[in-house]
Amino acid sequence: MIAIAGDNIISSLGFTAEECYRAVASGQSGVRLHRSFMGLPEPVMASTIDRERLADSFAALSPRPDGYTALEKAAILSVSSAAAQAQVDLADASVLFIFSSTKGNVHLLDETEAGFSRSHLYLWHTARLIAEFFGNPNAPLVVSNACISGACAQLAALRELASGAYRHAVVVGAEVLSRFIVSGFQSLKALSPEPCRPFDVARAGLNLGEAAATLIYRRVDKGAEATAGVALLQGAIRNDANHISGPSRTGEGSYLALKALLQEVAPADIAFINAHGTATAYNDSMETAAITRAGLSAAAVNSLKGYFGHTLGAAGVLESVISARALAGETALATRGFERSEAEHPLSVTDKNMHAHQACCVKMLSGFGGGNAALLFKKFKPR
Amino acid sequence: MEELILQLKQEIIRVLNLEDVTPAGIADSAPLFGEGLGLDSIDALELIVLMEKRYGIKLKDPAQGREIFTSIRVMAEYIHANRTK
Amino acid sequence: MPQVIRKYCHVTHRSATVNGKAFPVAEVDGEGKFLTALYRSLKIDYPKFFKMDSLSKLGFLASELILRDEEPRFAPREDVAILCFNRSASLATDALYQVTIRRGDGCYPSPSLFVYTLPNIVTGEIAIRNKFFGETSFYVCKEWDVQQALRMAGQILCDGRTRAVLAAWVECFEEACEAFMMLVDTENQPGIPPEEIAFSTSKKTTWKN
């Protein structure tokens, strides 16, 4: 297993994991109405990173702030903050960088963008810039597996650290919003004109969000588990084999991913399930079906999309950071925007912060391409 | 109307990449979704784009599309009554 | 037991081979039509093929070449994983989508293009066709590294559930396409040694800065 040694979130709610966690725990949301978004005709509800604060913070970190896009700056700042906490030398060959993003710098395709070479369009190039900033000698792994990318990146960390080749993995997820991404979700009629309402009977679609988030993991050797703090025990990815953009009605892939985790944990030991909970009609019904089929309908379920929006390739990392902190703090966080369940198969969706003392939590994600992921975290208390 | 129906069939074959389908092979009143042409949810969204781009008809609610896209004939009648270009 | 290559194929925009032997493709009708001709030569009936972007068509055809004589075919199974890699993610389709959102009067974002602006859609297309409920993952890297692909396939095969992995390089850039796909498992020792296979990709797929 691997344990969290450092974390960070750069988002609309703050520039550290602590700042963002406190904002969530006190019920704040970073989702705002943007009346005009990059020349698109319709207004957009979205959570965005403050560009001025980003530029200032990055200038304070780097003597050469030019040559990095906003996405790269956010990712580097995020890693830097997590590394300070983890006290790991990122230049060491025993550290592997794993980068997660769905669209990277795709905004550079826009004819009005200037100042960056097209090489920034390649995700592996961006990942190298991030790793090289810290002097890391290894070729980073780059996951681009749609909205489950952040979970896949953590599963890759688990596997790479288990192989013994590395001692630490820096998992960084980053996504910025562009005309490209926003217009695409508009064309799919997936966006809500209001703040999103995960699992609510009146939900009307998702809100998009920007973020960079980092988890630095360290390998935990056998026998040293008691000092691990919060650890990632297991993960599973399963496909719906149903449709490239529509979730399976029966939740097949999510159900199979949950079932794989349940070989490692009893339902009674689960403090909460942090669902994908995008607040689209189909996603939340699909997750409801999967959780019910897996026999977990009594577990507390929450979604963090009401606070940060859907941060796409960053979501798996960001929501794992918040969930790991909530697990350590014995809290099942409220699902912002949720009031009333659908009548059929209701889940125990949290409508306020609740005490949850159990040792484990589950993080679920689903995405285009039919992929579904589930991760199992456990907290260890030193004796 | 017959001219619009033929034009609509050609447009649909083109924008939905219905290889191996000819205008003559689509019955005017056959269902477009499920059986029939076997279109799916993304095709429905693409038809909404076609309505706006080609005929200047803006559908606010995707659910509206479900009634309009029942068959080529229903769709053509709707376009005939509502087109702005 | 170590993972081994049981079968492999190589597809480009002008040829297809399975286990090193050419797969016959009849009547290529014009520039950029090879993938359609290959589809016809495979004699399958799957109209969804024509809705796919080039990356998905390429990966789909490679998977058909490998799986066409596997038995049983199309039985739902959770023990096959799909692990793909490439260099430019979905950039070719991204550029096509970008044209639909140009500023001014011509902005009509295409939903059917947008859904293909994710590289992992190809893994979904293969999973849907074959009813594979197992792991599907997509990684982006500068170059195809067959040893890395085998190593990562080996990690998946250790999960206690997966019995075979379709591991592939699937790259499409403008008109140039190239896929290497291999069926990797632990059961049919000793398999095909990777050094016997010419796994080097052509290196002309870079956008000029």
Q: Are residues A27 and A147 in the same domain?
A: yes
Q: Are residues A213 and A356 in the same domain?
A: no
Interchain contact, B42 vs A187, CB within 8 Å: no
How many other β-carbons are positioned within 10 Å of the β-carbon of residue A149?
Answer: 32
What CATH number is attached to the domain comprising A126?
3.40.47.10
Q: Are residues A54 and A188 in the same domain?
A: yes
Q: Which residue has the higher pLDDT, C28 or A240?
A: A240
Q: Are residues A207 and A240 in the same domain?
A: no
Q: Which residue has the higher pLDDT, C204 or C88?
A: C88
Q: Are residues A118 and A240 in the same domain?
A: no
Partner B contacted by C50 (CB < 8 A): yes
Partner C contacted by A141 (CB < 8 A): yes
Interchain contact, B49 vs C115, CB within 8 Å: no
pLDDT band at C84 (very low <50, low <70, confident <90, very high): very high
Q: Are residues A127 and A39 in the same domain?
A: yes
| Cα A107 from chain centroid (whole Å) | 21
Distance (Å, whole) CA C112 – CA B15: 9
| pLDDT attached to residue B48 | 94
Of A219, A245, A269, the residue that ends a domain is: A219
Partner A contacted by B83 (CB < 8 A): no
Q: Whole-number mean pLDDT of chain A? A: 96
Alpha carbon distance, N-terminus to C-terminus of chain A: 19
Catalytic residue of the set A20, A168, A276, A361: A276
Query: What is the per-residue pLDDT across C129-183, written as a single tens digit (0 to 9) for each?
Result: 999 999 999 999 999 999 999 999 999 999 999 999 999 999 998 767 999 999 9
Query: What is the per-residue pLDDT across B37-62, written as a single tens digit (0 to 9) for each?
Result: 878 889 999 999 999 999 999 987 77
Query: What is the per-residue pLDDT across C29-52, written as a single tens digit (0 to 9) for each?
Result: 777 789 999 999 999 999 999 999
Q: Are residues A40 and A126 in the same domain?
A: yes
Chain A interface with B: residues with Cβ < 8 Å: 187-189, 243-246
pTM: 0.96
The number of distinct structural domains making up chain A is 2
Counts for chain C of helices (H) and strands (E), in that order: 6, 7
DSSP SS3 for A199: coil
Query: Domains of chain C (ranges plus CATH)?
Result: 4-197 (3.40.47.10)
Of A176, A196, A219, the residue that ends a domain is: A219
Q: What is the mean pLDDT of residues C14-25?
A: 95
Query: What is the per-residue pLDDT across A280-328, written as a single tens digit (0 to 9) for each?
Result: 999 999 999 999 999 999 999 999 999 999 999 999 999 999 999 999 9
| pLDDT attached to residue C207 | 47
- Per-residue tokens: A381: 């208390």
Which residues of chain A neighbour B49 with C-beta distances below 8 Å?
A: 187
Distance (Å, whole) CA A299 – CA A347: 8
Of A194, A219, A244, the residue that ends a domain is: A219
| pLDDT attached to residue A343 | 72
Q: Are residues A55 and A189 in the same domain?
A: yes
Q: How far is A151 from chain B (nearest CA, A)?
A: 26
Given a contact as 3+ CB pairs under 8 Å, which chains touch A? B, C
Q: For chain B, how are helix, strand and coil distributed in percent, rounded to 5? A: 60, 5, 35
Q: Are residues A73 and A138 in the same domain?
A: yes
Q: Are residues A8 and A146 in the same domain?
A: yes
Range of the domain at A132: 2-219
Nearest to A146 among C94, C120, C134 (CB): C120
Give the chain A residue whose CA is nearest to the CA of C105.
Answer: A41
Give the chain B residue whose CA is nearest to the CA of C46.
Answer: B19
* Burial state string for C8-37 with b = 16 or more CB within 10 A and e = fewer than 16: bbbbbbeebebbeeebebeebeeeeebbbb
Partner C contacted by B3 (CB < 8 A): no
| pLDDT attached to residue A24 | 98
Which residues of chain A neighbour C152 with C-beta distances below 8 Å?
A: 159
Q: What is the mean pLDDT of residues A362-368?
A: 98
Distance (Å, whole) CA C51 – CA A247: 19
pLDDT band at C208 (very low <50, low <70, confident <90, very high): very low
Q: Are residues A28 and A91 in the same domain?
A: yes
| pLDDT attached to residue C175 | 67
Instruction: Give me the percent of chain C exceeding a pLDDT of 70.
Output: 95
Q: Are residues A26 and A148 in the same domain?
A: yes
> Is A107 among the residues known to form the active site?
no
How do beta strands C16-18 and A31-34 pair? unpaired
C177 forms beta bridges with C172
Q: Residue for token digits 């606070």?
A: A307
